[in-house]
Structure 1
Amino acid sequence: MSKELVFYTNPMSRGRIARWMLEEVGAPYRTEVLDYGTTMKAPEYLAVNPMGKVPAIRHGDTVVTECAAICAYLADAFPDAGLAPAPADRGDYYRWMFFTAGPLEAAILDKTLGVELPDDKKMMAGYGCYDDTVDALERAVTGKQFVAGDRFSAADVYVGSHIMWGTQFGTLPTRPAFEAYIAALAARPAHVRASELDDAAMPAQPAQPEPA
């Protein structure tokens, strides 16, 4: 009997990244949508993720949290999907996935919060400075269809999601290299399916009153 795969998420979260990865994998999974402040902080879910955050997956007895880890795990757990390079070819795969999870996320958060590091403290931050981090990401995808090698991988799910969100919401600048890289990714059938599923799970908006 195959292991049950359970996906814990909220459509207004980084769970959208994991959903896309699950759709790329193509294995059946069950979704549990959790609400902020209630079921996400309930004892039942805290037993899955003590941080009380989504996404998370449970695959049989194995629990994985953190989007980059979920993407890497699913690529290895379902090798027939072909979403991870051969072990000897994983330099860029690991490099850019975890660059995005670490330096890029930190640089974007500080920029969004208005945190400005003084020049003599920049070497203390893993990302150095926002501009250098964004420039490095741009070089990683310039002239490339995929960020790690010559085929689509879990790294494209993770890196591509961050570039899509960042350019959409203004936390990353719009640059030709970013637009060219994400255009084909956004059109992938698995990405389209994942977006439709998450959009359908969005809470209903309250009806607006009729104008007087």
Structure 2
Amino acid sequence: MSELVLYTNPQSRGRIAHWMIEETGLPYRTEWVAYGPPMKGQPYRSINPMGKVPALQDGSAVVTEAAAICAWLAERNPEAALAPPIGSPVRAAYYRWLFFAAGPLEQATTARAMGWQVPEGRNGMVGFGCYEDTLNALESALQPGPWICGEPFTAADVYIGSALGWGMMFGTIDKRPAFEAYVTRARARPAWLRAEALNAARLKETEAAKH
């Protein structure tokens, strides 16, 4: 089995990938990439031409984009059962909400953060339609619980749990009871706690190095 290398920064979406790789139980190595020249320089751009993190190197394969990394890692270790069986209705829900979070939810929260307004009557031209419809759809999907696909915890929950947690922290997602309860459950998972500790330790090291 090839070595997994996670390129990340503790102040980035790389935390999603870090949580996900901890959920799989697979061995991996972390390469911390600083913002500025290290992330935008040619050595790292040979991994990700966008000059952004996270990126996952798996032998000769490179995967970028947090949602894609979640999906890749779920298939990389099927024993962890982080993706429902192929062809099942639960697998359909898994794909649906993973891509929903990476598409409409990401667009809606970015628009909210940037203060962008969709012109009246033009909602059909944007993937998220409108902010309220996006959040209402996700809230409805979470109501049966405990996870986005029902009983099984999946890679989609890693991505959605991260998005909701950050969004509510920074004010781009409304603090609805269903969202808060879901994030609380997600953050009680041992893998989240491990990933959080690793990123907190790295932040502490970085701050100490400045003084």
Letter in 1 for 2:78: P
Identical positions, percent:
52
CA–CA separation in structure 1 for the residues paired with 2:135 and 2:118: 16
- Aligned partner of 2:96 in structure 1 is 95
CA–CA separation in structure 1 for the residues paired with 2:52 and 2:41: 11
CA–CA separation in structure 2 for the residues paired with 1:63 and 1:148: 28
Checking the alignment, whether the CA contact within 8 Å between 2:144 and 2:150 is kept in structure 1 is: no
- Aligned partner of 2:123 in structure 1 is 122
TM-score by length of 1: 0.94
Checking the alignment, whether the CA contact within 8 Å between 2:20 and 2:70 is kept in structure 1 is: yes
Runs of 4+ in 1 over 6 A off after TM superposition: none
- Aligned partner of 1:107 in structure 2 is 108
Q: Does the residue aligned with 1:160 lie in a helix, a strand or coil?
A: helix
1:189-204 equivalences under 5 Å are 189-202=190-203, 203-204=206-207
CA RMSD of aligned residues (A): 1.1
CA–CA separation in structure 1 for the residues paired with 2:144 and 2:96: 18
Superimposed CA distance per residue, residues 150-200 of structure 1 (whole angstroms, 9 cap, x where no aligned partner): 211101101111111111221111111111211111010000000000011
Q: Deviation of residue 82 (structure 1)?
A: 0.9
* Correspondence 1:29 to 2:32: no
Q: Does the residue aligned with 2:82 lie in a helix, a strand or coil?
A: coil
Number of positions where the alignment pairs a residue of Structure 1 with one of Structure 2: 206
Q: Which moved more, 1:135-144 or 1:60-69?
A: 135-144
Q: Deviation of residue 149 (structure 1)?
A: 3.4
Q: Deviation of residue 13 (structure 1)?
A: 0.1
Q: Deviation of residue 60 (structure 1)?
A: 0.9
CA–CA separation in structure 1 for the residues paired with 2:41 and 2:176: 42
Q: Does the residue aligned with 2:6 lie in a helix, a strand or coil?
A: strand
Checking the alignment, whether the CA contact within 8 Å between 1:9 and 1:34 is kept in structure 2 is: yes
CA–CA separation in structure 1 for the residues paired with 2:87 and 2:17: 25
Q: Does the residue aligned with 1:72 lie in a helix, a strand or coil?
A: helix
Q: Deviation of residue 142 (structure 1)?
A: 1.4
Q: Which moved more, 1:10-19 or 1:103-112?
A: 103-112
1:4-15 equivalences under 5 Å are 4-15=3-14
- Aligned partner of 1:48 in structure 2 is 47
1:1-212 equivalences under 5 Å are 2-89=1-88, 90-202=91-203, 203-204=206-207
Q: Does the residue aligned with 2:207 lie in a helix, a strand or coil?
A: coil
Q: Deviation of residue 143 (structure 1)?
A: 3.2
Structure 1 gap segments, 5+ residues each: 208-212
Structure 2 gap segments, 5+ residues each: none
CA–CA separation in structure 1 for the residues paired with 2:170 and 2:116: 18
Checking the alignment, whether the CA contact within 8 Å between 1:76 and 1:84 is kept in structure 2 is: yes
Letter in 2 for 1:53: K
Checking the alignment, whether the CA contact within 8 Å between 1:46 and 1:52 is kept in structure 2 is: yes
